Amino acid sequence: MKVGDDTNVPLSAMLVESFTHTQKAQTSPPASGFGSNNNVELQQASLFLAGRLSDHLGIFAQATYSQNGGVLGWDNADLRYARTFTRGNHSGIWGISLNNNPTVSDVFNTAPAWSFPYMAPDLAPGAPAQPIIIGGLAGQVIGVSGYTQLDGKWYFEEGVYRSLSVAFTNHVNAGYDGRVIGAAPYLRVNYTWNLPAGMFSLGGFGLDVRRGLVGADLAGNPIAQAGPSDHFRDIGLDANYQYAKGDHAVTVAGLYVDEQQTLNATYADDGSSSLHNSLRSLNIKGSYWYRNTYGASVAAFADNGSSDLTLYGNQGSPNTQGGIVELDYNPFGEATSWHQPWANLRVGLQYTVYTRFSGLVHNVDGAGRKASGNDTMYLYVWTAI
């Protein structure tokens, strides 16, 4: 969040239209109103309020409509207080963030809320399970954290998150996956080395969550279910290297998350075969851009964890591995481009390859489908103003 004299609080908008094709048609349509393959979708139509509210207060708030689901709901939100300081030879920024998604307050693109891929298909098969910090609480909680960035090198953030009410999450169409019991602590540390033509950062984060199961009232609406809670403890590491000189920009980034689970509620409800499970997620990507106009990215991912036949079905494994190749074109990406900064357009072509899905290479769904049948071609047009 910028600290300065700009008094404008701009409204902006974003629109993403996409086409999704899987190598083999899915056994049933991925969502109401779509076919089993070759789907065209208005994936996102978002409105943003982002900017300075006062000398030290700013906001980033997003509301998004998606054709998949056909509802308008709140998206990432971050209300932030910030001040600069100087102490002897040291200077920096400190502040407080009120937000609705662990890691959305982060200033690095390696944190789960902002990591690659920045745009991905929502009408194709994806990882059957990931650690809860990777979107598992997004929009369903409210949190407050204090942060400090010192000398442009050290970054510290510490906060807690609590569940929003079921009535509120239904009102803003955020979904509901269970009530966080008490407060969920969050911690973030990062160090940045400033290089002659770029930077390198290395960091870590942690989130500790106890969450109950979801019940339903007589009308079928979700409610918090009484009883024991599941315990998720996530520890993550991330690294980011950026090089920019002249017309060329290179980025290499990595994210690893280890989650330890004690499934008191799920196990007691006969939803898992084991009381103690684990999940691990690894994502590595490299990108090259020429004149901020032509871009290419290559990524690899692996989501692995404990086998649990009841929890995951089929062969009882969440293990899913593969890679992504993406080509991008920003026709107005340069500072001297037509109507900058108002004309913003990106055309992206992304291909995802699965070498393993739900622990298997063959017969991943019990009906003969191979992991490669989920390989996905995804074309999107992304514009913003």
Average pLDDT over residues 86-110: 94
pLDDT digits 0-9 by tens, 257-293: 999 999 999 999 999 999 999 999 999 999 999 999 9
Q: What ranges in 58-100 are assigned the alpha helix state H?
A: none
Q: What domains can you pick out in the chain, each with its CATH number? A: 11-384 (2.40.160.10)
Does residue 256 register a pLDDT over 70?
A: yes
pTM of the model: 0.93
Amino acid 223: pLDDT: 84
Average pLDDT over residues 156-164: 97
The lowest-confidence range among 111-125, 282-296, 341-355, 359-373 is 359-373
Looking at the DSSP bridge assignments, the partners of residue 323 are 300, 353
How far is the first Cα of the chain from the last one, in angstroms, to the nearest whole number? 19
What pLDDT band is residue 42 in, cutting at 50, 70 and 90? very high
Please give the Cα distance from 137 to 161 (Å, whole number): 9
Average pLDDT over residues 106-133: 94
Amino acid 221: pLDDT: 79
Does residue 109 register a pLDDT over 90?
A: no
Average pLDDT over residues 224-247: 95
Amino acid 324: pLDDT: 98
Cα-Cα-Cα-Cα dihedral of 149, 155, 160, 164, to 10°?
A: 80
Average pLDDT over residues 154-160: 97
Average pLDDT over residues 110-125: 95
pLDDT digits 0-9 by tens, 121-140: 999 999 899 999 999 999 99
What pLDDT band is residue 9 in, cutting at 50, 70 and 90? low
Q: What percent of the chain has pLDDT over 70?
A: 97
What is the three-class DSSP state of 217? coil
Q: What ranges in the chain are assigned the alpha helix state H?
A: 166-171, 264-268, 309-312
pLDDT digits 0-9 by tens, 174-233: 989 999 999 999 999 999 999 999 999 999 999 999 999 998 877 777 888 888 999 999
**Of 84, 71, 76, which is closest to residue 50 (Cα–Cα)?**
76
Does residue 56 register a pLDDT over 50?
A: yes
Identify whether the C-beta of residue 95 lies closer than 8 Å to the C-beta of residue 78. Answer: no
Does residue 341 register a pLDDT over 90?
A: no
Average pLDDT over residues 296-309: 96
User: H or E segment at 18?
Assistant: strand 11-22
Contacts of 33-38 with C-beta under 8 Å, sequence gap 24+, read 33/67, 33/70, 34/68, 34/123
Provide the sign of the torsion angle of the four alpha carbons 148, 141, 256, 122, taken in this order: negative
Contacts of 340-349 with C-beta under 8 Å, sequence gap 24+, read 342/385, 343/385, 344/383, 344/384, 344/385, 345/381, 345/382, 345/383, 346/380, 346/381, 346/382, 346/383, 347/379, 347/380, 347/381, 347/382, 348/119, 348/378, 348/379, 348/380, 348/382, 349/377, 349/378, 349/379
Identify whether the C-beta of residue 362 lies closer than 8 Å to the C-beta of residue 326. Answer: no
Amino acid 2: pLDDT: 44
For 137, counting Cβ atoms within 10 Å of its Cβ (0-12 exposed, 13-18 middle, 19+ buried), the class is: buried
Identify whether the C-beta of residue 292 lies closer than 8 Å to the C-beta of residue 330. Answer: yes
Average pLDDT over residues 314-330: 93
Average pLDDT over residues 241-250: 96
What pLDDT band is residue 8 in, cutting at 50, 70 and 90? low
| Cβ neighbours of residue 71 closer than 8 Å, sequence gap 6 or more | 65, 173
Please give the Cα distance from 293 to 243 (Å, whole number): 16
Which comes out higher in pLDDT, residue 214 or 323?
323
Provide the sign of the torsion angle of the four alpha carbons 18, 19, 23, 28, taken in this order: positive
**In which residue are the tokens 């499934």 written?**
263
Amino acid 1: pLDDT: 40
Average pLDDT over residues 111-120: 95
Looking at the DSSP bridge assignments, the partners of residue 338 are none
DSSP for 91-136, please give it: EEEEEEEEESSTTTT-SSTTSGGGPSPSS--SSS---S---TTTTT
